[in-house]
Structure 1
Amino acid sequence: MKAAQTLTTAAALLCALPASVVALSKVETRNLDIAEDDVSRGLMHVTVDFKDECLHKHKDVCIAAINAKLAAYPELFEDREAFEFEVNKVREATDEGYNIVSMRLNVDETTVGGLLGDGMIWYPYEWCLAADDCYTVGPWDCDVGIPLLPEQCCKMIQDSVPHEDMNGKYLECYTEYPVGSPSNPVNPGRVCIHTDADGIVVHIPKNE
């Protein structure tokens, strides 16, 4: 019964929005991590991607376009007055910390899930023992029938690349918490923007 009420509420919300708003961006509804009493009332939020406003554009243009959409269609964003923008430059091979492998955990934060939820962990650069001696490392499958613990996954990764690189560094591991996990709960007032070194948006921002 609660599921039916939630779906009905979501449908009513989307039907109440102007057709032009729904056409502007992909709209996705999510249950908030809220108390059982609130769930019974069918409270939800709408996640909107800002591909047209932001992708391959400068972050300042992106932020201005998102703010304009918020001002034009506040009902789409729970009538909030402003977004909290988190702007981060994506890591590059020349950055400090290039040797870190990011392991995204599952939502329960106990095991490794990977970016796609399939347990696969990727490293974006070649591993160079010398300027003319570089090779690809990974990906690593950290779901061997059951998802591995972060410590187990990291050990497998490091065991597969036992040599230090030309800068004297070894692969290190970092645990990343997915949106919706206890350490990174859904926040419909937050928009994360990822840019390159020139401030150009490289991933599609969402309010989540």
Structure 2
Amino acid sequence: MKLHGFYRSSASYRTRIALNLKGLAYETVSHDLTTGEHQAPSYLAINPQGLLPALEIDGAVLTQSGAIVEYLEERYPNPALLPADALARARVRALFQVIAADTHHVTSMRVGAYLKKRLEHDEAQLRAWQHHWLTQSFGAFEQLLTKSPATGRFCHGDRPTLADLALVPQVFAARRLDLDIGRWPTLARIVEACQDEKGFQDAHPDRHNPAR
């Protein structure tokens, strides 16, 4: 099993967490987003989108972190990252999408690069853009957590699910952008609980930085 990713990529980070929680061994191949390695012909031959991550597994190449983690859940069902109940699974998938679909892409490095290069945003304008979307997203996420009795030690109950896989990397990225997470206490509490888990610890970007 081979994971093509980048240590600071949120989508790569969430995929590493899933692999770790499933107890799966994998080889990591790094493609530096800051130098354009993900656009090299050798990687585009693997993933024509040039996005990270991509997972080589079972004789195939899987792309898009959501599809990858769902495949891992189906292929390796224990420990489960989705609840057994259909409504509960829908809730967890919705929380995952709040981050993976509605937050990550508008605050990503490639969007930031476009805003700076094409629209001539300076660093302050870019940071304001990122803070706006993160604040909007985290505020909604906090309400979804606090209004549901299904919220436990983690986003859903007392075991990590796909929702936590998405949340932790996004909070890591937000902190790098100097966003105060403390204003969302339930969200912050859950992130701290996740960081006590070995699967999350071993996936942390600091442990996958090739410069370290």
Larger fraction in helix:
2
Normalising by structure 2, report the TM-score: 0.22
Q: Which has the larger radius of gyration?
A: 1
Normalising by structure 1, report the TM-score: 0.22
Larger fraction in strand:
1
